[in-house]
Amino acid sequence: MSDPGGALAEVARQRGAAAAKVRLPWWYVALFAVVWAALLGGTTAARDHERLGIPEFPYTFVAGMTLAVLLVVFRRRSGLHLLWRSTPYPALKRQQVRTAGVMVGGALVELALYLLGDRWIAASWAALVFAVLHGVLVTAQLRRVNREIRADIREGRSGSA
């Protein structure tokens, strides 16, 4: 005769093991912050590189290509590449507004600083500093979503909560 308590404990153990596999490595988180900062600050850096004393480089292009690779890695590490066969994690819906707010809000601030940079050199510096800060904020949100996905897996939540 099977032990129901033991079976439930085994399910919990398997969920915990699956959730542990979804954790993002430290290098991914650090690289994501750098790439996001380069993506947002790249247009200012390209336009004002002489005034700012930084090297000329296609920051936005390289950051965009690297970001595409990182997003594919995130989808695979988080199991999101399987969504066409299953229902999305409830964490994605719970974090949707916050994620959009962080990304769009920061991009709008960066755009405003970029537009001001034509008339005011301090705005160009502010755009670069803000790009770095925004990279940290977006990465923190990415880690929050990843943590919530792990919690969904650990708790066995599915569907669109």
Q: How confident is the model at residue 86 (pLDDT cuts 50, 70, 90)?
A: low
- 80, two tokens: 């999101």
- 68, two tokens: 């595409």
At 25 the pLDDT is: 84
Mean pLDDT of the region 7-25: 81
Dihedral sign (CA 94, 99, 101, 102): positive
Q: How confident is the model at residue 54 (pLDDT cuts 50, 70, 90)?
A: confident
Distance CA 114, CA 126 (A): 9
Residue at token pair 């409830």: 90
DSSP 70-136: HHHHHHHHHTGGGGGGSPPPHHHHHTHHHHHHHHHHHHHHHHHHHHHTTT-HHHHHHHHHHHHHHHH
User: φ and ψ at 31, to 5 degrees?
Assistant: -65, -35
pTM for the structure as a whole: 0.77
So where are the chain's domains? Answer: 4-155
Q: Does residue 142 have a pLDDT over 80?
A: yes
